[in-house]
Amino acid sequence: MRWLARREYSVHELEQRLAGKGFPSGEISTVLDGLIGQGLVSDTRFTETLVRNRVERGYGPLKIAYELRAKGIDDALVDEFLQDEEEYWVERLRAVWERRFGRPPADYREWTRQARGLQSRGFTAQQVRRVIPDIES
């Protein structure tokens, strides 16, 4: 319960933590079923919280999806929360670019540096190309 008081956890994360503490798998399943039944653990709520947090921190859909899958969230739930319009992600990328770089690249070398930086935050190459050419012109 102390863990749940601090932040949201996915069912998979709690299962891994409890197994790491040496609890038998039968007890883990029983406890998790009870927590899910009481509404104290929810993969949907966890996904919503993590996506909102990562978007506010300037991460793109690829990085967020990777992190969710690593935490045991199924693909259908990931797709549901990251199905935003392409324009939404391009606008988020534009905001990240302005905050991180603030000026158009002077040459190709600078352009590639900026593009790599934006892609490392989880944005697609197509999204990056939509933002940087606008900046150059």
Tell me the pTM.
Answer: 0.85
Q: What pLDDT digit, counting tens, does each position of 69-123 carry?
A: 999 999 999 999 998 788 999 999 999 999 999 888 888 889 999 999 999 999 9
39: left (phi over 0), alpha (psi -120 to 50) or beta: left
Burial of 35: CB neighbours in 10 Å, binned 0-12, 13-18, 19+: middle
DSSP secondary structure letters along the chain: -HHHHHS---HHHHHHHHHHTT--HHHHHHHHHHHHHTTS--HHHHHHHHHHHHHHTT--HHHHHHHHHHTT--HHHHHHHT---HHHHHHHHHHHHHHHT-S--SSHHHHHHHHHHHHHTT--HHHHHHHHHHHH-
Tokens of 121: 């935050």
What is the arithmetic mean of pLDDT over 53-73? 95
Confidence of residue 51 (pLDDT cuts 50, 70, 90): very high
Q: How far is CA 114 from the centre of its chain?
A: 21
Task: Could you please state the CATH topology (level 3) that the domain comprising 86-136 is classified under.
Answer: Arc Repressor Mutant, subunit A (1.10.10)
Among 38, 44, 35, 37, which Cα is nearest to 15's? 35
Q: Where are the domains of the chain?
A: 2-81, 86-136
Average pLDDT of the chain?
A: 90
